[in-house]
Every structure is written in C-alpha cells, then in structure tokens.
C-alpha cells in the first residue's frame, strides 16, 4: 500500500523546513520512505513529494505516524500538505469488478 505526501512552501521557509526535516525521528521499520523529492517552481514556491510504502494491514498505524510527522511542520509560514492513499491499478480494477 502507498500513501503519497505532497507538500508546498515558499522559498523563505526552506531553511526552517530543512531544520524540522533533519530533526524528525526515524520511521518505524514497517514503513519504507521514497524521497522526499523536491522541485522549485518560481511562481509557486517549493513542492515536495514523498512516497510511503507499507503492508495494508498496517494502514491505520501508518496513517497516524505520517499524520503526526506532517504536524511537525505546522507553524512554518506558507506550509501546506496532503496525505493521500493511492491504489495500485490491480486493486482499483477489483473495485469496479474487473479484478
């Protein structure tokens, strides 16, 4: 299972974001993190994307860990984020009766 985190913040907040990221505790062993991958868009600021992979049986626990992790950035000027559960195509097909 995958949860994708999307973040956004202005360039003026980059140093504070970096400090808070470096101060994060390690993730539990059942979550594999890919990223964060960062892109700077002059008109829109800095965007980040991170993929978190884990076994479906750990969904509730993983979502709590990732929500708490995101909350560490609250108070950084201009910070916004989303955490979204994404399905693999084979699982999405099952939902519409094709799997």
pLDDT of 94 reads 87
**pLDDT at res. 11:** 95
Q: What is the CATH number of the domain that holds 81?
A: 3.30.70
Number of structural domains the chain divides into: 1
Phi, psi of 96 (to 5 degrees): -105, 15
Q: What pLDDT does residue 7 have? A: 97
What pLDDT does 49 receive? 97
| Chunked mean pLDDT (size 10), the chain, 99 residues | 96 96 96 97 91 95 96 97 92 87
Stated as kind and residue range, the H or E segment containing 9 is strand 2-9
**Residue 79 lies in domain:** 2-95
Instruction: Characterise 35 by phi-psi region: left (phi > 0), alpha (psi -120 to 50), beta (else).
Output: left
């Amino acid at each position: 299972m995958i949860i994708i985190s999307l973040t956004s913040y202005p360039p003026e907040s980059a140093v504070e974001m970096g400090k808070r990221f470096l101060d994060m505790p390690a993730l539990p062993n059942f979550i594999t993190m890919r990223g964060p991958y960062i892109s700077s868009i002059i008109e829109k600021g800095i965007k980040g994307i991170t993929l978190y992979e884990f076994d479906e049986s750990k969904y509730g626990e993983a979502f709590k860990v990732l929500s708490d992790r995101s909350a560490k950035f609250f108070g950084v000027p201009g910070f916004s984020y989303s955490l979204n559960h994404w399905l693999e195509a084979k699982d999405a097909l099952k939902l519409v009766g094709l799997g």
